[in-house]
């Protein structure tokens, strides 16, 4: 993935913005190390890479700015590995795409409610 040099990135200041790479889910870079962040234009979310791609940030904001909801898609279209030593939860019903594999490491749990 090519990164564009941003002039006046704002890094090191308090109020200036900075840009992160962006692209669709299909344009995610491969063969990278953990610690990469980008904006996913397919699902309009920031995401980070740590052995797999995952969303960054909190849940959806309700009235009064209370972060009390978490929203997830109802269709899973790409493989996903739950991080070893962590559990995952999804609100259902959900549909797994053809040939999609969800990897659940030993000692981890995936709960669909």
Sign, Cα dihedral of 56, 62, 67, 71? negative
- Answer yes or no: is 49 within a domain: yes
- Answer yes or no: is 60 within a domain: yes
- Answer yes or no: is 54 within a domain: yes
Residues 79 and 112 in one domain: yes
| pLDDT for residue 104 is more than 80 | yes
As to burial, measured by CB atoms within 10 angstroms (0-12 exposed, 13-18 middle, 19+ buried), residue 38 is: buried
Residues 49 and 94 in one domain: no
Read off the pTM: 0.44
Spatial distance between the Cα atoms of 23 and 91, rounded to a whole number of angstroms = 26
Q: How many domains does the chain have?
A: 2
Range of the domain at 112: 72-113
Residues 63 and 89 in one domain: no
Tens of pLDDT, residues 38-80 = 998 887 888 888 888 887 765 554 555 555 667 788 888 888 8
Q: How far is CA 7 from CA 10, 12, 22, 62, in A?
A: 9, 13, 17, 36
């Amino acid at each position: 993935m090519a990164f564009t040099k941003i002039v006046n990135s704002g890094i090191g200041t308090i109020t200036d913005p900075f840009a992160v790479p962006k692209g669709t889910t299909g344009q995610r870079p491969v063969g990278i190390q953990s610690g990469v962040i980008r904006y996913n234009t397919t699902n309009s979310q920031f995401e980070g890479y740590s052995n797999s791609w995952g969303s960054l940030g909190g849940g959806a904001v309700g009235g009064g700015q209370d972060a009390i909801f978490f929203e997830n898609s109802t269709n899973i279209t790409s493989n996903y590995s739950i991080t070893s030593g962590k559990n995952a939860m999804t609100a259902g019903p959900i549909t797994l795409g053809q040939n999609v594999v969800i990897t659940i490491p030993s000692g981890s749990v995936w709960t669909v409610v």
